[in-house]
Chains A and B, each alone.
Chain A
Amino acid sequence: MAAEMNPALARQLNEAFSTEVETREGVTKVAEYTGNMIRDRLREEAFCHKILTPRQVQKSELRPSTRTDTVFKLLELEPQSRAMVMSFRGQPTGRVIRAPRVEVSFFTVSSELMQKTEQELLAYEMPITKIVEDNIAKDMEEIMDREFLRHGEACVQAMQEEKNGSVVSLTSATAADGTCVEYSVRKGELARQDTVNLDANVRGLDKRDLIAGRQMLNSRRLRPQTVLLTETDSDDAIGWIAQDIGYDKASNGTEKGFVWNELAGLRIVRTIKNDILRRGNVYFFADENFLGRFFFLNAPKFYVDKIANTIFFQSWQDIGMAFANVQAMVKVELYTGDATANDANGILADVTPYPEDQLGWLNNRVDSGVNFPYIETYLPVGLLVDEEGDSEGCRPSSFSSRVLTLQLRHGQRDPVCSSQHHARAAQPSAHDLSRRASPEPCVPLQQGQDTPARSELPAARGAPSGTSVHL
Chain B
Amino acid sequence: MTARKVYLEPTGPLNHLWRPSFSLANPELLKPSNASAGGADSALIDGEWLTLNSARKLVRAADLTQAAGTASSKRGFLWWEELGRYDVQAIQQGNILFTGHCEFNTLVFDGTGISDCMTPLMTGVVVVDGIKRSGLLLRTGSNPIVGYVTKLPANNGGKLQFILGY
Contacts and interface: CB of A to CB of B under 8 A. Distances in A.
Contacts of A353: none
A427 interface: no
Contacts of B84: 65, 67-68
Contacts of B1: 66
Interface string A51-68: 000000000000001111
A105 B82 contact: no
B91 A107 contact: yes
Given A107-B91, A147-B91, A72 B86 contact: yes
A70 B4 contact: no
Interface residues of A, number: 15
B2 A67 contact: yes
A152 interface: no
Interface in B51-108: 82-91
Which among A66, A68, A69, A147 has the highest number of chain B CB atoms within 10 Å?
A68
Given A107-B91, A147-B91, A70 B86 contact: yes
Given A67-B82, A68-B82, A107 B4 contact: no
Contacts of B88: 70
A71 interface: yes
A275 interface: no
A65 B86 CA distance: 8
Interface in A103-132: 103, 105-108
Contact of A105 (B2, B4, B83, B90): B90
Interface in A380-407: none
A329 B111 CA distance: 53
A280 interface: no
A107 B90 contact: yes
Which among B84, B88, B90 has the highest number of chain A CB atoms within 10 Å?
B90
Contacts, number: 38
Contacts of B89: 105
Contacts of A72: 86
A270 B87 CA distance: 29
Contact of B85 (A68, A108, A147): A68
Nearest to B81: A68
A71 B89 CA distance: 12
Nearest to A65: B86
A169 B82 CA distance: 37
B90 A106 contact: yes
Nearest to B35: A67
B4 to A, nearest CB: 5
A68 B90 contact: no
Nearest to B1: A66
Contacts of A71: 86
B86 A67 contact: no
A147 B84 CA distance: 20
B4 A106 contact: no
B2 A70 contact: no
Nearest to A320: B90
Contacts of B4: 66-68
B22 to A, nearest CB: 10
A107 B87 contact: yes
A6 to B, nearest CB: 39
Given A66-B1, A67-B4, A103 B86 contact: yes
B85 A70 contact: yes
A68 B94 CA distance: 14
28 contacts: A65-B85, A66-B1, A66-B4, A67-B32, A67-B82, A67-B83, A68-B4, A68-B83, A68-B84, A68-B85, A68-B86, A69-B82, A70-B86, A70-B87, A70-B88, A103-B86, A105-B86, A105-B87, A105-B89, A105-B90, A106-B86, A106-B87, A106-B90, A107-B87, A107-B90, A107-B91, A108-B87, A147-B91
Closest 8 CB pairs of A and B: A105-B86, A105-B90, A107-B87, A70-B86, A68-B82, A68-B85, A67-B4, A70-B85
Given A67-B82, A68-B4, A105-B87, 5 more contacts: A67-B2, A67-B84, A68-B84, A70-B85, A103-B86
